[in-house]
Amino acid sequence: MFLITGGRGAVATHLTALLHHDRLPVRIGSSHPEHLTAPDGVGTVRLDLTDPATFPAALAGVTTVFLYAAPDHIADFTAHAQRVGVEHIVLLSSSSVLGPDPDNDPLAKSHLDVERALLASPITTTILRPGSFASNAGAWARPIKAGRPVGLPFPHAHNDPIHEKDVAEAAHAVLTNPRHHGGHFTLTGPESMTFAQQIDQLAAATARSITINRVTREEWKQEVAEYIPAAFADVLLNWWESNNHKPVALSRAVEELTGHPARPFATWAADHATDFTS
């Protein structure tokens, strides 16, 4: 039995469909399973990674887990998984753990703590470390739909946007092919792009004129304070500043795992154009 955590997320949704297509037994875990739309024959269960009381029912009969990185009770989750006979965990981590000082980076450390707990256990652990999700561009949907400029402190900062379908297909490959078990894979999109270039491709996909408003760090932090804590906002700002006008390193792990090149950002923009117009 495969347990997919974070069942309402885009990666989990695509991954569930792939495993279901293979006719493999799948259970989807979510803190709000009543909001899930599962394929026919796929079970759902309440699984809140911050509540160990939900672990036993979610892990019953499970041998393989696709796990989102939630550090608060990872020791409890790992211990229970070991007790019930889980053999393989695929962790969706982050390439931020590969930075120069991950223990002092709150975003990186939250993922690194989960990695360390899993690697210290006897359960075979495979780690996927995506860089920047293309879906981060979804944060621009509100101003674009309203016809307002997108506020960016570093419009020429580079990142490596990866389509959520590529992450899901990479996860499918490492879950189902034993030769990948235990590997560590850094996942990136196919090109290093600036935010300004992504905005241009969104404009083409939506047939809209999208402008950029250069804002200060503090102005941007105030804009996102509702959903990004200040400590995490500072980490993002520092990362963007360090990559201002500077291309980021890319990997071919998506192609090596899936057999096809990673999808370009233009494909993601076309796939999600209605998110920015309706």
Q: Does residue 31 register a pLDDT over 90?
A: yes
Confidence at 49, pLDDT banded by 50, 70, 90: very high
Using a 10 angstrom Cβ sphere, with 0-12 exposed, 13-18 middle and 19 or more buried, the burial of residue 71 is: middle
| CATH number of 122's domain | 3.40.50.720
Residue 15, pLDDT > 90, answer yes
- 66: tokens are 């696709």
CA distance 231 to 224: 12
Q: What DSSP assignment string belongs to 9-41?
A: SHHHHHHHHHHHHTT--EEEEES-GGG--PPTT
Smallest CA-to-CA distance from 213 within 260, 151, 129 is with 151
Q: Which two tokens stand for residue 245?
A: 């006008």
Decide if pLDDT at 16 tops 90: yes
Q: Tokens 């949907």 belong to which residue?
A: 141
In a domain, 232, yes or no: no
Mean pLDDT computed over every residue of the chain: 96
Q: pTM of the entire structure?
A: 0.95
Q: Tell whether 187 is covered by a domain.
A: no
Q: Tokens 């980021």 belong to which residue?
A: 248
Tell whether 42 is covered by a domain: yes
Question: Which residues are registered as beta bridge partners of 150?
Answer: 212
- 169-219 pLDDT, tens digit per residue, is 999 999 999 999 999 999 999 999 999 999 999 999 999 999 999 999 999
The string of DSSP letters for 200-224 reads HHHHHHHT----EEE--HHHHHHHH
Residues comprising the chain, all counted = 278
Is a pLDDT exceeding 90 seen at residue 230? no
Which segment of 99-103, 178-182, 209-213, 243-247 scores lowest on mean pLDDT? 99-103
190/204 Cα distance (integer angstroms): 19
Cα angle at 216 between 223 and 226, to 5 degrees? 15
DSSP β-bridge partners for residue 157: 244
Is 54 part of any domain?
yes
Q: How far is CA 274 from the centre of its chain?
A: 21
Inside any domain, residue 36: yes
The domain tally of the chain equals 1
As a whole number, mean pLDDT of residues 26-35 equals 95
Torsion sign, CA atoms 110, 131, 241, 267:
negative
Instruction: Specify if 49 maps to a domain.
Output: yes
Please determine, for residue 269, whether its predicted confidence score (pLDDT) is greater than 90: yes
Domain membership of residue 181 (yes or no) is no
Domain presence at residue 168: no
What is the pLDDT at residue 125?
A: 98
Q: If you average pLDDT over residues 10-35, what whole number do you get?
A: 96
Asked if 130 and 187 count as a contact pair (C-beta separation under 8 A), the reply is yes
pLDDT at res. 217 = 95
- Say what the pLDDT of residue 263 is: 98
pLDDT tens-digit series, residues 55-75 = 999 999 999 999 999 999 999
**Whether residue 227 has pLDDT greater than 90:** no
Owning domain of residue 89 = 2-130
Q: Where is 126: in which H helix or E strand?
A: strand 124-130
Specify the pLDDT at position 233.
Answer: 93
